[in-house]
Amino acid sequence: MISFIAGGKTKVIDLQTIENLLGESLPQEGEGYGVLSEAMRYSVLGGGKRLRAIMLIESFRLFSDDRELEKYTAHPFACAIECIHGYSLVHDDLPAMDNDEYRRGSLTTHKKFGHAMGILTGDALLNYSMEIVAKAGENLAKYKPDYYLDNMHNFISATGVLFRKAGCFGMIGGQVLDVEGFGDDRKIDTEDLSLICELKTARLFQAALCCGAILAGADETAVSLLDEIGYLMGLAFQIRDDILDVTATFSETGKDVSSDEKNNKSTFVSIYGLDFARDKVRSLYEEMTEKLNRLPGDKSEFCKLFEKLYSL
């Protein structure tokens, strides 16, 4: 459970609330065509730390106490970013990419529903993320017309940030570099590796923090600081993921271990070694904490999240 105090009020966002929001917003089982809604729900609802949703909502709460506005803006964006993250994992696990069998302790989507359905489920989740955001815009116009007229530019700006950071110049671009770099057993250099990580992993962290803040009406200085924090968080997260790939067990991660080695991938660990990788995570942790402390409000729960994510 993540909780923190801002503006004198205790604020709590718990995992169950996010699970409920996601469960309600995804197509219900049996809705639509064939097995698709079941596969979409399986892919998104079957575990996951909900980091991006939590970061988005907590970032909103750093700048606004308006729970009604949060419900109409940050909540649908939190669901949308989890759908985008979910689709990226479904596609990343496909035979044409990492060819993994387990994710979140269960069979990967293509292993359970077949390859074609793995592709289609990922497609549907990406499209659905846009449907969620579009629907939220419609609801705002209908139920919060004052906000709609005065602050719609924030909603539009957050929409652009989310899909740009997830798109061809962001996460998908990073995956392209990853596939090109590793597809023929070439070893990529550290500069390329950092860029891939920045695009593939950090962009969605940045999107989560920036969207939450923008929706709450934060100013440009705060948003760009959050963008920097998201970058550091993503980089540290990826390096930690590389470390866990060689040090953790299946029961700890719920996914295939030694997947990078199996795919002959260069990682921060394979290039620099475990000790250097651990030191790098620690120094990134310090840097993100320093930047976080420049933001307004009580950031203690963000600090707890950092500790949880980056302790080694």
What are 11's strand-pairing partners? Answer: 4
Radius of gyration of the chain (CA): 19
How many whole angstroms separate alpha carbon 197 and alpha carbon 177?
10
Copy the structure tokens of residue 302.
């963000």
CB of 174 to ligand GRG, least distance (A): 7
Residue 12 Rama label (left phi>0; alpha psi -120 to 50; beta)? beta
Pick the binder of ligand GRG from 241, 256, 260, 301 (CB under 6 A).
241
Q: Which is nearer to ligand GRG, 102 or 148 (CB)?
A: 102
CB of 217 to ligand GRG, least distance (A): 27
What is the CB neighbour count within 10 angstroms for residue 25? 21
List phi, psi (to 5°) of 283.
-70, -35
Footprint of ligand GRG on residues 70-129 (CB under 6 A)? 85, 88-89, 91-92, 104
Our finding on whether 256 is near ligand GRG (CB under 6 A) is no
Q: Which is nearer to ligand GRG, 70 or 242 (CB)?
A: 242
What is the CB neighbour count within 10 angstroms for residue 99? 16
Our finding on whether 198 is near ligand GRG (CB under 6 A) is no
How many whole angstroms separate alpha carbon 306 and alpha carbon 171?
22
Q: Which is nearer to ligand GRG, 107 or 172 (CB)?
A: 172
Copy the structure tokens of residue 198.
């920045």
Our finding on whether 201 is near ligand GRG (CB under 6 A) is yes
Our finding on whether 238 is near ligand GRG (CB under 6 A) is yes
Our finding on whether 230 is near ligand GRG (CB under 6 A) is no
Distances from the Cα of 160 to the Cαs of 77, 117, 214, 297, in angstroms?
A: 12, 29, 11, 26
Q: Which is nearer to ligand GRG, 129 or 201 (CB)?
A: 201
Q: Contacts with ligand GRG: how many residues (CB under 6 A)?
A: 17
Q: Which is nearer to ligand GRG, 258 or 293 (CB)?
A: 258
Binding mask 147-186 for ligand GRG (x = CB under 6 A): ------------------------xx--x-----------
What is the CB neighbour count within 10 angstroms for residue 146? 8
Residues contacting 167, CB < 8 A, separation 6+: 173
Binding mask 46-75 for ligand GRG (x = CB under 6 A): --xx-x------------------------
CB of 201 to ligand GRG, least distance (A): 5
Minimal CB distance to ligand GRG: which residue? 48
Q: Which is nearer to ligand GRG, 37 or 88 (CB)?
A: 88
How many whole angstroms separate alpha carbon 262 and alpha carbon 248?
15
Distances from the Cα of 281 to the Cαs of 63, 82, 306, in angstroms?
A: 28, 24, 11
CB of 306 to ligand GRG, least distance (A): 14
Q: Strand 9-13 vs strand 102-103: parallel, antiparallel, or unpaired?
A: unpaired
Site residues (vs ligand GRG, CB under 6 A): 48-49, 51, 85, 88-89, 91-92, 104, 171-172, 175, 200-201, 237-238, 241
